[in-house]
Structure 1
Amino acid sequence: MNKPQQHKKVFLDHDGGVDDLLALLLVLCMDEVELIGVSVTPADCYAEYAAESSRKFMDLMLAEPVEVAISKARGMNAFPEVWRAQPQIINAFPQLLNMKSIRSLLSEREASDFIIEMLMNSSEPVSYLMTGPSTTLVNALQKEPAIKEKISEIIWMAGAVKVHGNVRTYTHNGAAEWNVYWDAASAQWLIEQNLPLTIVPLDATNHVPVTFDFLEKMAAQKEFEVSNLASFCWAITVNTIPGYDYLYHMWDVLSVAYASRPDFFSSKKMELQIAQNLPNEGETYEAQGSGNWVNVVTDVERELFYDYLLQQSRKNFIQP
C-alpha cells in the first residue's frame, strides 16, 4: 500500500513458512511502518521458493520495490523437509502464478551482509522482526557489531518457557521450540548481548490457534484481495487442524503484530538460558540469578488480536 506518512522503519527476517509469509503480508498492511528489507533463512523453507513468494507479496502491496536477500546460514537441526516445501505451494496460487514479472529485487548480497548494509544506511533505528531462527542476525552482529546501535528493538518468535515445546524427534524430550532448536548456540549468543530483545514464545502463541471460526470470518470478507490471499494461505494449514497433538497456531503473525499493537499483550522480564545439549537442546528456561534478562510475551488479548487481523486484511492490492 502507498504509505505517505511513515512512523517506524522495519526489517523482517523470516524463514519462509506459511505463517512467515502471512506475517509479511500483515506487515505490508501496517500503515504505520516502512518495510526497508527482507531476509530469508533456509530453515522452515527452501529459500528460493520463499524469496519468490516474498517478492510477489511485496509487489502486490508496495508502490516502491523492496529487496529480499537469501541467507547462507545453516542450523544444527534441520526442519522436516515436508514443511519446507510449502512456499512453493503458495507460488502456485492464481494470484501469484499470473505474475509474469517481479519488480522487488533479489539481492546479490548474502543476507547477513545485506542486513548490515540496510541497518547502517538507515536514517533512524530499525525495528527488527524475526520469525525464524536467529542465525542470520547473529552472523550480521558478529561481522559488524556497530549495527547494535541501529536496532531499536528485536521482536523474535522463539522459545517455550513455561509450556511444552513443539520439537518432535526420536532423541529429543520435546521441551524446545523449533526456531531456537534449529541453532541453539546462536540463540544463546543472542540473548547474552544485552540487546532490546522481546521474545514471543509458545506460551503466548498457544492462545491463538488457527480455528475454523476465524477462517470463516476471513473468508466472509473475500471481496478484499488481501483477505482472499490470506484465506488461501491459511487453507493449506488445514491438514493440521484438528491434530491429535499438533495444531497450527499464528506463531509469526502474532509476533509481528506486537510491533504494531503492544497494548494487546502482556509481558515480563525473565532471566533465560538456552540448553545446548540433548535431550533438551534448544529448551528456553528460566535461570534466576544466572540467566540473561529478556522481555518475554506471556499472553495476548485473543479477540482483540483476531479482530485486528480481520480489520488489517480489509485491503486490496495496489498492483494489478
Structure 2
Amino acid sequence: MSKLLIFDHDGAVDDLLSLMLLLTMDHIQLKAISITPADCYPENAIETTYKLLTLARKTDMQIGAGNYYGINAFPAEWRAKPKVLNALPSLINIDTSLQGQIKDSVDVLVHTIRSSDQPVTILLTGPCSNLVFAIEQDKSILQNIAEVIWMGGAVDVPGNVRTYNHDGSAEWNVFWDPVSSHKLLTYQLPLVLIPLDVTNMVPVSMGFLKILALQSDYPLSNLAGQFWATTIDTIPSYEYTYFMWDILAASYLGIPDAFVLEKVELEIQPNGHNSGQTFRKPGSGKWVQMATHVNKERFYQYVLQQLKR
C-alpha cells in the first residue's frame, strides 16, 4: 500500500532536493506540500516547488504557504537561495503562469489530514510551526497522523546556531520557532527525529559531487548537481561544509532499515540563552524515536540510484 505523505519544507536547497528525492519514490503518494517561510523567501520557494512538480507532471498538487515568520530569522543570504535556483538553466524557462491558488498552510494541513481515508505521514524538513498551528486549530487531526519525521534538533552534539546572545546549543529548524518546537513534543505523536547527531555523518563532499557528475546524462542527476553547486559558499564561509540534512530525513521514507533509532525522552527549551536546545530529559514523558546512526554507504548509494530515475 502507498504511504500517504504531506511534505512541509522551508525552501532551502536541501529541502528542494528532498522534494526531488520524494518524487522518485514509487511507494510514496504525495498528498500536499506546505512551505514555511523560514530558510527562504516564500515567493521564490513556491516558484521552485511548482517548477519541480511541473517536471514530475504533478502540478495538480495542493501547495500551501505559511503566514508565520518565526521568532529567530534565518540569515537573509541563506533565504535568497531559491531565487538563484529558479534561474538555473534547467528551471528558468518552466512556465509557472498556470500555477494554482496558494492556500494557507494551516488550512491545507487540516483539510488534507482530516479528509484522508487513511492515516497520513508528515515529513518536516523545516520548522514545525505549520503543523503545530494546524493541531491547535483542530486537535482531531492528531488521530489521523500515522507518523511525523522531522529533521530537527541537536541532542548529544553542538548545535549549528551562531548568533548574538545564544550559547550555540540549538539547531536552526528548532531555533526558528522554539515555542512551537516545545509544544510539538507535548502532543505525544509518533515522532522520528533526524537530528544533527546523525546528519553530521553525511556531508555533501566533493567526492560525492564528482560521482554525481558522472551520471549527469540523467536529467535529475544533472539538476541535483546544479542545486548542490550553489551551496559551495553557504556555510559558514568559503569552505565546503554543507550536509545532507533534509535529504537524509527524506531518505528515511525509502530506506528506514539503514537507520539506527533510539527511543528517548526529550525536552526542547522554548526561550532564553539556550532557546531551541533539544536535550535528553528522563521522566519528561515526551518520547521520540531519535536517529543516532545511518549506514552512510547505503544512504549515498540510494540517493545516487534514485537520481538516475
Q: Give the alignment's TM-score, normalised by structure 2.
A: 0.96
Using the TM superposition, name which of 225-234 and 114-123 deviates more. 114-123
Identity %: 45
Q: Does 1:10 align with 2:37?
A: no
- 2:43 corresponds to which residue? 48
- 1:96 corresponds to which residue? 91
User: Aligned to 1:201, which of 173, 195, 201?
Assistant: 195
- 1:307 corresponds to which residue? 301
Could you tell me how far apart the structure 2 residues matched to 1:289 and 1:249 are?
Answer: 33
The CA deviation at 1:214 is: 0.5
Contact 2:232–2:240 (CA under 8 A) maintained in structure 1: no
The CA deviation at 1:261 is: 1.1
The runs of at least 4 aligned residues of structure 1 exceeding 4 Å deviation read 240-246
User: Aligned to 2:183, which of 165, 189, 200?
Assistant: 189
Could you tell me how far apart the structure 2 residues matched to 1:242 and 1:174 are?
Answer: 14
The CA deviation at 1:124 is: 1.2
Cα shift readout 1:222-262 (whole Å, capped 9, x = no counterpart): 11110000000000011147968882101001001112211
**Given the superposition, is the C-alpha separation of residues 301 and 185 from structure 1 closer, same or farther in structure 2, using an over 3 Å criterion?**
same
- 1:79 corresponds to which residue? 74
Q: Does 1:267 align with 2:261?
A: yes
Question: What letter matches 1:87 in structure 2?
Answer: P
**Given the superposition, is the C-alpha separation of residues 104 and 224 from structure 1 closer, same or farther in structure 2, using an over 3 Å criterion?**
farther
Cα shift readout 1:3-28 (whole Å, capped 9, x = no counterpart): xxx61111100000000000111001
Could you tell me how far apart the structure 1 residues matched to 2:97 and 2:194 are?
Answer: 32
Contact 2:66–2:106 (CA under 8 A) maintained in structure 1: yes
RMSD: 1.6
Cα shift readout 1:79-108 (whole Å, capped 9, x = no counterpart): 01110000010000111111124555342x
Cα shift readout 1:27-61 (whole Å, capped 9, x = no counterpart): 01111111111011100000110011001101101
Question: What letter matches 1:314 in structure 2?
Answer: K
Contact 2:50–2:96 (CA under 8 A) maintained in structure 1: no
- 1:31 corresponds to which residue? 26
The CA deviation at 1:278 is: 2.6
**Given the superposition, is the C-alpha separation of residues 308 and 106 from structure 1 closer, same or farther in structure 2, using an over 3 Å criterion?**
farther
**Given the superposition, is the C-alpha separation of residues 69 and 251 from structure 1 closer, same or farther in structure 2, using an over 3 Å criterion?**
same
Question: What letter matches 1:273 in structure 2?
Answer: E
**Given the superposition, is the C-alpha separation of residues 230 and 62 from structure 1 closer, same or farther in structure 2, using an over 3 Å criterion?**
same
Could you tell me how far apart the structure 1 residues matched to 2:60 and 2:135 are?
Answer: 26
- 1:59 corresponds to which residue? 54
SS of the residue aligned with 1:105? coil
- 2:271 corresponds to which residue? 277
Could you tell me how far apart the structure 1 residues matched to 2:170 and 2:5 are?
Answer: 28
Could you tell me how far apart the structure 2 residues matched to 1:24 and 1:245 are?
Answer: 26
**Given the superposition, is the C-alpha separation of residues 241 and 179 from structure 1 closer, same or farther in structure 2, using an over 3 Å criterion?**
closer
Question: What letter matches 1:260 in structure 2?
Answer: G
Could you tell me how far apart the structure 2 residues matched to 1:167 and 1:245 are?
Answer: 17
User: Aligned to 1:69, which of 47, 64, 68?
Assistant: 64
Could you tell me how far apart the structure 1 residues matched to 2:199 and 2:107 are?
Answer: 31
**Given the superposition, is the C-alpha separation of residues 241 and 170 from structure 1 closer, same or farther in structure 2, using an over 3 Å criterion?**
closer
User: Aligned to 2:286, which of 272, 286, 292?
Assistant: 292
Q: Give the alignment's TM-score, normalised by structure 1.
A: 0.93
